């Protein structure tokens, strides 16, 4: 079970990198569009986050804090909604769904905030 948990954690980190990398590329280019890379990253993050929150045979000392899981879950759902809804509504566009600058920066802030919760909340 430990190997499965480590594989899920690795996939979760890849999802984070894909989401943040896709967003940073769009931001640096001066375009506020949600592209397929960001959508894949958000999807990977949601799926692996849900699977990582499962007990997977852990003992009591190794279980994550339920409050931390709740905060991360709420933020992850918000990121998922902010990324996936505009993407699937406008995916016919050649270069992604255009969103407002505040919406796009919100995605970046929530993504970095979720990583901060994972890192600093012990």
Domain boundaries along the sequence of the chain? 2-120
11 is written with which tokens? 């996939």
Closest CA to 23 of 12, 8, 38: 38
What is the SS3 assignment for 97?
A: strand
Q: What pTM was estimated for this model as a whole? A: 0.89
110 is written with which tokens? 């929530």
Query: What pLDDT is stored for residue 108 in this prediction?
Result: 97
Band (50; pLDDT cuts 50, 70, 90): very high
Distance CA 61, CA 67 (A): 16
50-54, 55-59, 67-71, 95-99, range with the lowest pLDDT: 55-59
Q: Where are the alpha helices (DSSP H) in the chain?
A: 2-28, 36-52, 66-89, 101-120
106 is written with which tokens? 């919100």
Q: Mean pLDDT across the chain, nearest whole number?
A: 90
């Amino acid at each position: 079970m430990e190997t499965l948990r480590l594989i899920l954690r690795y996939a979760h980190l890849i999802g984070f990198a894909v989401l943040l990398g896709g967003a940073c590329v769009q931001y640096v280019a001066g375009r506020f569009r949600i592209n397929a890379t960001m959508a894949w990253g958000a999807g990977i993050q949601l799926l692996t986050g849900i699977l990582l929150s499962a007990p997977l045979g852990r003992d009591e000392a190794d279980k994550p804090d339920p409050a931390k899981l709740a905060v991360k879950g709420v933020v992850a759902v918000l990121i998922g909604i902010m990324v996936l809804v505009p993407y699937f509504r406008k995916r016919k566009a050649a270069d992604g769904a255009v969103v407002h600058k505040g919406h796009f920066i919100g995605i970046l802030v929530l993504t970095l905030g979720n990583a901060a919760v994972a890192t600093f909340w012990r």
